[in-house]
Structure 1
Amino acid sequence: MSDKSLEELLIDEIKIVFKFLLKMGVSIEDAEDIAQETLYKALKYIDSIDSDRVRAWLFKVAINDYYTIYGRKKRRQEIDIDNLDVIGMFTKSAEDIFLTNEKGREIKSTLAMLQPEYRDLLVLKYTMNFSYRDIADVYGYSEDKVKVYLYRARNRFKQLWEARWLNERQEGK
């Protein structure tokens, strides 16, 4: 472990988990509940958590809680595109703002069509800037498996995006 105390490490890591949950479209209240429950479980099972894998352990618990909560509510949450950094937000005119918002809605809609694991992997990699190793730790996969799944996720996103574009062009004729 680093020079940080266990308490400081857990607080820093739970903030990252909380940020991830928000980027996944979890409401602030639910994200707070999940983060609090995850922190409680971490403290409860602290002796069994490998100190080098604290982040991965926290993410696994939080992701499982997320799916439990949203599965129970029987509703699908969409990713909050306002928090995604996939679109440059350096706009200069009202037209640019409109086009950026429109593109954001299209990306949001396309991401929502992906299976949850692919969507989660894309958000971890491209929004949270997790390394392949970090993602592998979270899911318990090898780095090669993460690379393959991310490749598939990107390709599926691209297919959905292109299909949407073709449909819009055909409807516009």
Structure 2
Amino acid sequence: MAEQTLHQLYEQKAQLIFNYLRKLGCPREDAEDIVQATFAKAVEQWIHIATDHVSAWLFRVAIHHYYDLYRHRRAFPHLQVDDAFMEQVLEEQTLEGENLLLTKEAQEEFKALLGQMKPSYAHLLLLKYEAAYSYQEIGQLVGMKEDAVRTSLYRARKQFKQRWEERENERKRNL
């Protein structure tokens, strides 16, 4: 393996992997350790990695390290979502063309709803709307066919919208 190639790969992907782990709820120190372990494994396994799938391989290794870490700690992480992501998803979920105003309370509700969703759905939503990956890129990262990604994202958006509407209806009844 060329040292220059690994260095370029690290420069291109380390921050992306770190940010994705943080969005999954991974503490900063753990995310740094996972990124380091991921690239250490890349050095060890370089000759076995298909060059056209290096990015997907790195993300899968990082995610597996993350799951292993929390499996051993027996704790399920809370997703961290930033405001821009919430606004983008909620714009898609507007009811009958109404624009939803995001208040602090709505942001907290959004985080709670995302945390209640099936973890794979929440992760797909983060990859699509937070990381802005295409369906094809998401498929490569999570090991799914593009059509399966589209279907899962459709279901994830539908589940989110349904839960959001239920919460809104409950709020209206309580007024």
Instruction: Name the TM-score class by shorter chain.
Output: 0.7 to 0.9
Aligned to 2:16: 16
Instruction: Give the match's secondary structure for 1:45.
Output: helix
Specify the code of the residue in structure 1 equivalent to 2:138.
Answer: I
1:23–1:84 contact (8 Å) kept in structure 2: no
Name the count of aligned residue pairs. Answer: 160
Q: How many angstroms apart in 2 are the aligned matches of 1:104 and 1:38? A: 32
CA gap 1:99/1:151 in 2 versus in 1, 3 angstroms: closer
**Runs of 5+ unmatched residues, structure 1:** 89-97
**Runs of 5+ unmatched residues, structure 2:** 89-100
TM-score normalised per structure 1: 0.85
2:83–2:107 contact (8 Å) kept in structure 1: no
Sequence identity (%): 38
Alignment of 1:59-138 (within 5 A): 59-82=59-82, 85-87=85-87, 100-138=103-141
Shift of 1:55: 0.8
CA displacement 1:65-103 (0-9 Å, x = unmatched): 111112222222212233653238xxxxxxxxx953222
Name the Cα RMSD after superposition.
1.9
Shift of 1:6: 3.0
CA displacement 1:25-46 (0-9 Å, x = unmatched): 2110111111111111111101
Specify the code of the residue in structure 1 equivalent to 2:32.
Answer: E
Aligned to 1:91: none
CA displacement 1:109-138 (0-9 Å, x = unmatched): 000011111010000000000111111101
Q: How many angstroms apart in 2 are the aligned matches of 1:72 and 1:160? A: 31
Deviant stretches of 4+, over 3 Å:
none
Q: How many angstroms apart in 2 are the aligned matches of 1:127 and 1:39? A: 23
